[in-house]
């Protein structure tokens, strides 16, 4: 006789943890592909390694490190030689002066973000972050922090303004910022970031000594990938007084198409880095030692880095510009689409307003979820709605990622998109 399977109780945090909406969408896309459907899949913030391989010199160094048996535990805060090379890279390319002891290496950016949240936040502390943005809501849930979503506007390229953030900072413990921004591929202007920096300094002066300050987490993992005249700005260069309150999140995953290499780093005040190191020591989220040794040797090869980045950035920029031009051409022809000019990262911000339209089969697209599904089913276009990044569920804006895009398919996509949009009434 079959017995009833008991419900296994878990923590409230785990029970209510929401999975990645992007991964759910990607699973549906991959199921369509497995069934033989043609899909223009621009959902994942990753690279097709056949289109965008890592630098050949990095591959050589990784192989050499494994042949040299660099396979034991690395130092808890990262291989010293790598931290020294990161410090030199930051000083040369960004003008930031941090010592090796102020740098923490881990298995990508995610463990570092989690460690920073865990290090500075107590249960019930408040995190303020603009939306759309990547995963702050989930890290708040994991650390049982109070999440304050601040909706941003397209006229500001979806970057937060001081006026939008000001009402929420008095009781906040962390302000989470990202530039270049995932999902938009846009960046802070000097003025935008400077005015926010002034708010944080003002708030910390108000609190005085002995009170937990308002920290900034500045995620700049895409900062190397800026295009045209776009400049990357950061809080510490704009206001050096923010150095004690700012932790940067960075790494080589996006800069060198090396998402699977899992070498990320954070840098900031040594006391914070030491506490984050202690957290990660218990988690064991180190970057593999062979990859760390290889990354250190690769970062010494400045001509190779420059040559790679010139080609890499040109290829990404070309794709972004072609998509941008394609959407603007459709807009000029009267179709309800738009896009924001690309500035950085691997993302294009796209607007598709189809709510209320009737399909050829007579179905009315009543919600933005309907629109997203219609784009996937009829256009075979898979892009990520801003609602998946914390924005309003009725937002008509999307993230289009070009990291897996073959240039030969772009014209094909726009022919299909125009055909389907023309069929709507």
Q: Which residue has the higher pLDDT, 220 or 361?
A: 220
Q: With bands split at pLDDT 50, 70 and 90, how would you rate the model's confidence at 19?
A: confident
The percentage of the chain sitting over the pLDDT mark of 90, rounded to a whole number, equals 90
State how far the Cα of 244 lies from the Cα of 261, in Å rounded to an integer: 30
Mean pLDDT of the chain: 95
State how far the Cα of 296 lies from the Cα of 63, in Å rounded to an integer: 14
Domains of the chain, CATH where assigned: 12-52+306-422 (3.90.1150.10), 56-301 (3.40.640.10)
Least confident residue range of 14-23, 133-142, 195-204, 239-248? 14-23
Per-residue pLDDT tens digits for 111-163: 999 999 999 999 999 999 999 999 899 999 999 999 999 999 999 999 999 99
From residue 15, alpha-carbon distances to 88, 137, 379 in Å are: 44, 16, 36
Q: With bands split at pLDDT 50, 70 and 90, how would you rate the model's confidence at 3?
A: low
What is the mean predicted confidence (pLDDT) over 410-418? 97
Least confident residue range of 14-18, 172-176, 204-208, 371-375? 14-18
Question: Which of 28-37, 241-250, 360-369 reaches the highest mean pLDDT?
Answer: 241-250
Q: Where are the alpha helices (DSSP H) in 144-238?
A: 162-165, 190-207, 235-238
State how far the Cα of 216 lies from the Cα of 212, in Å rounded to an integer: 12
pLDDT at 327 over 90: yes
**Cβ 214 vs Cβ 207: under 8 Å:** yes
DSSP assignment of 298-313? HHT-HHHHHHHHHHHH
**Integer-rounded Cα radius of gyration of the chain:** 22
The percentage of the chain sitting over the pLDDT mark of 70, rounded to a whole number, equals 99
CA 377 to chain centre: 27
Helix, strand, coil percentages, rounded to 5, for the chain: 45, 15, 40
What angle, 0 to 180 degrees and rounded to 10, lies between the N-to-C axes of helices 289-299 and 56-67? 130
**Cβ 193 vs Cβ 313: under 8 Å:** no
**Cβ 189 vs Cβ 233: under 8 Å:** yes
From residue 331, alpha-carbon distances to 50, 327, 360 in Å are: 33, 6, 21
What is the mean predicted confidence (pLDDT) over 105-116? 97
List the one residue out of 174, 178, 267, 273 whose CA is nearest residue 219: 178
Q: What is the pLDDT of residue 2?
A: 55
**Cβ 195 vs Cβ 162: under 8 Å:** yes
Provide the token pair at 234.
């950061």
Q: What is the pLDDT of residue 1?
A: 47
Q: What is the pLDDT of residue 21?
A: 78
């Amino acid at each position: 006789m079959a017995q009833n399977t008991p419900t296994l109780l878990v923590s409230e945090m785990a029970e209510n943890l929401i999975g990645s909406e992007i991964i759910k969408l990607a699973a549906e896309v991959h199921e369509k592909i497995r069934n033989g459907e043609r899909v223009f899949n621009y959902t994942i913030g990753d690279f097709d390694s056949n289109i965008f391989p890592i630098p050949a010199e990095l591959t050589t160094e990784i192989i050499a490190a494994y042949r040299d048996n660099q396979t034991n535990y690395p130092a808890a805060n990262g291989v010293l030689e790598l931290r020294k090379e990161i410090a030199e890279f930051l000083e040369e390319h960004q003008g930031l002066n941090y010592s090796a002891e102020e740098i923490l290496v881990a298995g990508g950016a995610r463990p570092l973000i989690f460690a920073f949240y865990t290090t500075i936040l107590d249960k019930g502390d408040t995190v303020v972050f603009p939306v759309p943005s990547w995963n702050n809501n989930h890290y708040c849930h994991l650390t049982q922090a109070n999440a304050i979503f601040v909706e941003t506007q397209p006229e500001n390229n979806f970057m937060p303004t001081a006026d939008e953030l000001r009402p929420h900072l008095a009781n906040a413990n962390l302000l989470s910022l990202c530039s270049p921004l995932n999902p938009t591929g846009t960046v802070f202007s000097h003025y935008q970031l400077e005015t926010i920096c002034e708010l944080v300094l003002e708030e910390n002066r108000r609190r005085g000594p002995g009170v937990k300050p308002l920290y900034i987490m500045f995620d700049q993992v895409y900062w190397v990938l800026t295009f045209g005249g776009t400049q990357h700005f950061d809080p510490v260069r704009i206001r050096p007084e923010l150095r004690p309150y700012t932790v940067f999140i960075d790494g080589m995953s996006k800069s060198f198409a090396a998402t699977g290499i899992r070498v990320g780093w954070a840098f900031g005040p040594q006391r914070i880095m030491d506490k984050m190191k202690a957290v990660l020591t218990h988690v064991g989220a180190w970057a593999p030692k062979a990859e760390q040794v290889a990354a250190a040797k690769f970062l010494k090869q400045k001509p190779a880095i420059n040559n790679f980045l010139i080609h890499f950035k040109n290829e990404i920029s070309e794709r972004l510009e072609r998509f941008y031009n394609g959407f603007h051409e459709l807009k000029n022809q009267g179709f309800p689409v738009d896009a924001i000019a690309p500035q950085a990262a691997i993302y294009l911000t796209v607007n598709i307003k189809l709510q209320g339209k009737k399909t050829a089969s007579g179905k009315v697209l009543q919600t933005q979820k309907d629109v997203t599904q219609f784009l996937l089913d009829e256009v075979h276009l898979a892009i990520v709605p801003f609602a998946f990044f914390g924005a309003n569920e009725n937002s008509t804006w999307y993230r289009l990622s070009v990291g897996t895009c073959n240039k030969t398919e772009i014209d094909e996509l726009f022919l299909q998109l125009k055909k389907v949009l023309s069929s709507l009434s």
